[in-house]
Structure 1
Amino acid sequence: MTMLRMTIRETADAVGGTAKGNDVVFSGVSLDTRTLRAGELFVAVKGQRFDGHAFVRAAVEAGAVGVMVADESAVPDGVPAVVVSDTRAALAALAAHRRAQLKLRVAAVTGSNGKTTTKELLGRLLSTRYRTKWARDSYNNDIGVPLTVLGLEPEDEAAVFEIEMNQAGGTLRLAGICRPQVGVITNVHDTHLEFMIDRAGVAEEKAELLQALPPDGSAILNRDDELVREIGRRSGLRRQVWFGLSRQADVFAAELVDRGTEGVSFRLNDTHPVRLRLAGVHNVMNCLAACAAAAVMGVELAAMPEVIERFESPPLRLRLRRLRGVTLLEDCYNANPQSVRAGLDVLVHSGAKESRVAVLGDMLELGPAAAAFHRDIGRLTARVCDRLG
C-alpha cells in the first residue's frame, strides 16, 4: 500500500502558501488531533464551534510532522509549516493537486435524498471488479470531499464521492476537486430552500455536477423526477443513462413487491431477481441509481443481485431495529418533506394503523414555506398513524 507522500515545500507550491522550517515529508492529512496519526500534516481549519489553530500544539504532540495554518503565531518554534491565507481553501487546493496525480475511475453522487445510500451501494458494487474507495459517512462537503481525495492511493482503481452543498457554485467547486467521469443525480426535492429559494434553484445547484463532467462523461439520471429530466434535457452530455421504475428507463425495476420492513423484491431489467433488504420504494430508486452507475463503469448486471442482497442501510437511514417486540424504523440523520413522506410510507406498509407511532422532529432549512411544510406532514401523519410524538 502506497501512502500519500508530500513535502512541505511541494504543498506550499500547490496551495499558494509559504513554507516555513524544514522540508519534511508527511504521509497523510488530518484535521482532528483525536484521530491524527504520527507522520501526518495537521491542517488548522476554523469551524463554527472550534478553531483548529487552538489545537496546533496538541497535533504536534500527537505526532504531526508539520502544520498548515493561517495564523503563523500558532506554530510552535521549529515546527515545519505551510502558511496560507485560508486553510479551508488551501485544503481544497491540496486535494485538487493530489487528484491530478491519480488515474482512476471516479463517480460522484448528488441529489436531495438518497445520496449516502446510493454512494455506499455503488462503492460495494464497484468493489466486485476494482479496488475501490468511497467517502466515509457523509463526507460530502468542502471538508469531506478533499479529505476523501487525500485518502486515495495510486493503487486504487475506482472511487465514489458524495456531494452536498447549499449554495450556488458549491457542487461545481467540489466536483472540480474530485473530477468524476460519472455523475449521479438521485432526485430534486424540497431541501435547502432557505438558500435555494425553490426547487428550481435546487435543480440548478444539482445540475452543476454535470457541468463538471468531461465531454465523454456519463450522467446517471432519475427518469421519474421531472426536474431531473429537465436537467438532462439542458445538459450537453451525449451519454445519459436513465434509471426508474418503468421499462422506459435504461435501468429499471420490474415486478416490484413491497414487503414493508422486510424490504423490496424486483427484477432488474426484467432479467435478474433482486432482494433488497432496505425498506421502501424510494430505496429501490437509490438501488437503481447505483446499479446504473456501476454498469456504466464496467460491472455486469448479473453480478449485482448478490451484492444488493447483502447490503444494509447506512446508520440513521431508515435502519430497522427490533426492541422487545417493537419494530423501530430509525431514520433520523436529516429530514425534508419528501424523506419524511417516504418514511411514513414504509410505516404504512409495516402494520395496522393502531400499532403505528411516529416520533418526528423539525425539518430544517425550508425557508418561508417551513410552517406550511410542517403542517402538511402533520396532517399526513395524523391520517396514517395512531400516535404522534
Structure 2
Amino acid sequence: MIRISWGKKFLIPIWKSCWSIAVRIDLPQPDQFAALWATVTGSPLKDPVAGIASDHRELQPGDLFLALKGARVDGHQLLQPAKDRGAVAALVSEAVDPVDGLRLYRVASVEETLGNLARSWRQRFSIPVLGITGSNGKTTTKELVRACLSRSGHPHCTTGNFNTSLGVPLSLLTLTADHTHSVIEMGANQPGDIRYLASLVKPTLGLVTNVAPAHLEGFKNLETIVSEKESLLTADSLETAFINLSDEHCRTMQFRGRKVTFGFDTNADYAGRSDRSSARPRLQINGHTLNLPTAHPALEKNALAAASVARELGISWSDISAAVARFEPVRGRGEVLTFRGLTVINDTYNANVESTRTALEFLRSYPSRGRKIFVFGDMFEMGEAAEQSHAAVGQACLEAGPDAVFTVGNFSEIVARVTSARIPSFHFKSKETLQDKLRRFCRRDDVLLVKGSRGMAMETLIQGLEGN
C-alpha cells in the first residue's frame, strides 16, 4: 500500500445522499492525469488509469476505485469486488488488507484528495466557466445553456446531475483543451457546500436560478438557504453574475463585479414576456421570439436564464432560438409522456413546495379532454417544516383544482387531508397499492402529473402504469 500524506487541510462537506449516487467517468487523458496525480499527491501513479468510479458495480477494466464511506456502505469493504470488476487501483483512507492485483493508495481523506486533483486540473484551463446553483431548475438551465453553446462551440458540462462534492470534481476531471466553455451545476444540502464547490470550479460567471425552501433538514430556514446560494457570488474568480429580478431573494443579492439581470421584469437587461397568442408557447425576450417545446412555466423561466447567459457569451439570437425550439425536457423534469391513451407529466426527479406549485400550474393549464389527476409522493429533507410544507402543497393543489388527488408515503397524507374537502383524494402507504388503484381509476384522455422527492422514486409508478 502506498500512503500519501497531506500538509494542508481542507473542510470537505459530507453529503448525506452523495455516496448513494453511482458516479463514474472516463478520463479523457490518462497520461496527463497520471502526471497530475504525481504533482498533487507527491506519489507516482504506478498503473495507467482509464476511469474513476465511486460504486464498485460501475467499474470498468483499468479504473481507479474511490473507497468512500457512506451512511450504509463502506467502500473499504468492497475492494475485492472492485478488483473483480477490473479496478487496477483504489484510493482508501483506512488501513486495509492487501488485495492481490489491486494497488492501494492511502490518504487522510478520499474526498479531499479528489477535490485537490480536480482543483489543480481546472486551473489548467482559461475558458469561460459558468457555475449554476439554485433551489430549482439547475439541471434544465444547464442543459439549455449547453444546447445554445453547442451551436457554435464545444462546451464541457456537468454530466447528468453530478452536482455534489463527489460529482463536481469528477466532472471537472473530464475537461479538455478542446472545450470552449464549461457549465457546472452546483448543488447544496448544507451550509458551506457552494463555497467549497466554487473553490474547485473557479467560476468566471455565476447564475442563481432561484431560491425556495428545500433541503431544510440541512439548512433549517430560508435565510440560510439564501445565504448559501449567494455565496456563489463571493467566489474570487467570478467576473459576471446573472441576477434573477423575478425572484424576491435573488434580486437583492450583492456582487462586487459586473451584473447582468434577467427576469419577467421590464427593468431587466434581458426582459422576458410570456406569449400565448399562438398555439405553440412562445417567450419574448427584448423583442426576440423563442418557440418553446412545452408550456411548462419552469421551462420558460429556465430558457430566459439560459438565453441571457448565451447572449453574453456571444451566441446569436437565431442560434439561441434554434437550440430552445429543439430542446427536449430533461427526463423526470416536466417530461410529457403518452401511453395507453393517457398523458403523463413526469416531474418525478425531485420536489419542494415551489417546484410542486409550478408543476401544478402546468397541469392546470394543460389542454385535455379528460380529467386532470395529481399523484404526489413525500417531500424529503424538509426537517421541522415537513408538516407545514406538505400542507402548503395541499393549498397549492386546491388553487390548481385537479379532478382527483392521489398521495403516497407518510407526510403526503397531509396533502390529501387538505384537499379532501373539495377534491376527491386518496392516500396510500405503498406505491404498489396506489398503482393498482390508478389502473382502475384512470380513463382514456386523462392527464396525470406525477411528482415527489428523489427518494420516493415515483418514476417506478409511471413505469408500472406503462407496463400494465
**Cα displacement (A) at 1:86:** 1.4
Matches within 5 A, 1:32-71: 32-71=55-94
Matched, 1:188 2:219: no
Partner of 1:120: 143
Tell me the amino acid that sits aligned with residue 245 of structure 2.
R
Report the secondary structure of 1:120's partner residue. helix
Determine which of 349, 366, 377 is the counterpart of 2:382: 366
Structure 1 residue 255 displacement after superposition? 5.1
C-alpha separation between the residues in 2 aligned to 1:138 and 1:68?
Answer: 23
Q: Is the 8 A contact 1:182 1:213 kept in 2?
A: no
Among 162, 174, 197, the alignment partner of 1:174 is: 197
The 2-side partners of 1:207 and 1:246 are apart by 21
Q: Using the alignment, how far apart are the partners of 2:235 and 2:105 within structure 1?
A: 29
Segments of 5+ residues of structure 1 without an aligned counterpart are none
**Matched residue, 1:294:** 310
Report the AA paired with residue 236 of structure 1.
R
Q: CA deviation at 1:223?
A: 0.8
Mapped partners of 2:157, 2:106: distance in 1? 30
The residue number in structure 2 matching 1:382 is 398
Within 2, Cα distance between the matches of 1:27 and 1:324? Answer: 44
SS at match of 1:146: helix
Listed one character per residue, the Cα deviations across residues 326-370 of structure 1 (whole Å, up to 9, x for unaligned) are: 211111111111111001101110147971110111122223222
Alpha-carbon displacement from aligned partner over 1:139-187 (angstroms, at most 9, x marks no partner): 1001110110112222222111111112111101011111111111000
1:213-257 deviations in Å (ceiling 9; x for gaps): 525x111121111110111xx2212x1111112332112323522
Q: How far apart are the structure 2 equivalents of 1:96 and 1:325?
A: 50
User: How far apart are 1:91 and its partner, in Å?
Assistant: 1.3
* 1:76/1:7 CA distance change after superposition, 3 Å: farther
> Is the 1:40–1:63 Cα contact (8 Å) retained in structure 2?
yes
Structure 2 CA distance for partners of 1:93 and 1:75, relative to 1, 3 Å: farther
RMSD: 2.4
C-alpha distance 67-152 of structure 1, shift in aligned 2 (>3 A): same
Q: Distance in 2 between matches of 1:47 and 1:214?
A: 32
Alpha carbons 1:31, 1:42 under 8 Å: kept = yes
Amino acid at match of 2:78: F
TM-score of the pair, normalised by structure 1: 0.90
Instruction: State how far apart, in whole Å, the 1-side matches of 2:36 and 2:104 are.
Output: 12
Question: Which letter maps to 2:345?
Answer: L
Aligned-residue offset at 1:268: 2.6
Aligned to 1:243: 262
Q: Using the alignment, how far apart are the partners of 1:226 and 1:10 within structure 2?
A: 43
> What is the SS of the residue equivalent to 2:96?
helix
Q: Match for residue 336 of structure 2?
A: 320
Task: Decide whether aligned partners of structure 1 residues 195 and 87 sit closer, same or farther in structure 2, where only a CA change above 3 A counts.
Answer: same
Question: Residues 101 and 56 from structure 1, CA distance in 2 versus in 1: closer, same or farther, beyond 3 angstroms?
Answer: farther
Question: Aligned match of 1:139 in 162, 173, 180?
Answer: 162
Match of 1:227 in 2: 249
Identify the residue that residue 463 of structure 2 maps to in structure 1.
Answer: none
Distance in 1 between the 2:389 and 2:104 partners? Answer: 49
**Contact 1:130/1:157, CA 8 A, preserved across alignment:** yes
Once the two structures are overlaid, the 10-residue window that deviates more, 363-372 or 197-206, is 363-372
Rounded to whole Å, the distance in 1 between the matches of 2:151 and 2:237 is: 25
The Cα shift of 1:387 comes to 0.6
Deviations 1:101-152 (A, max 9, x none): 2333211110000001001111111111221121122110011101101122
Structure 2: distance between partners of 1:210 and 1:321: 38
How far did residue 267 of structure 1 move? 2.3
SS of the equivalent of 2:379 reads: coil
- SS class of match (2:227): helix
Residue 40 (structure 2) aligns with: 14
For residues 288 and 31 of structure 1, what CA distance do their matches in structure 2 show? 35
Distance 1:352 1:298, change over 3 A: closer
2:366 maps to amino acid = S
CA contact (8 A) 1:3 1:28 kept: no
Aligned residues: percent identity?
Answer: 31
Give 2:15's aligned residue: none
**Equivalent of 1:95, from 118, 122, 131?**
118
Q: Which amino acid aligns with 1:298?
A: G
Q: Deviations over 1:188-235 (max 9, x none)?
A: 1111222222222111000111111525x111121111110111xx22
| Structure 2 CA distance for aligned equivalents of residues 347 and 100 of structure 1 | 45
In structure 1, what is the Cα distance between the partners aligned to 2:158 and 2:53? 15
**Secondary structure, counterpart of 2:87 in structure 1:** coil
Aligned with 2:105 (options 45, 58, 82): 82
Letter paired with 2:276: V
1:23 aligns with 2:46: yes
Is contact 1:28-1:150 (8 Å) kept? Answer: no
| Paired AA for residue 224 in structure 1 | S
For 1:303, the equivalent position in structure 2 comes to 319
Partner in structure 2 of residue 5 of structure 1 = 31
Q: Tell me the alpha carbon deviations over residues 16-38 of structure 1, each in whole angstroms, 9 at most, x when there is no partner.
A: 7xx48x73332432223333333
Q: Show the counterpart of 1:341.
A: 357
Decide whether the 8 Å contact of 1:220 with 1:240 is kept in 2: yes
- The alpha-carbon distance between structure 1 residues 346 and 205, as it changes in their structure 2 partners (threshold 3 A), is same
Letter of the aligned partner of 1:220 in structure 2?
F
- Kept in 1, the 8 Å contact 2:131–2:183? The answer is yes
Q: Does 2:279 correspond to 1:253?
A: no
Give the unaligned 5+ runs of structure 2. Answer: 1-26, 407-468
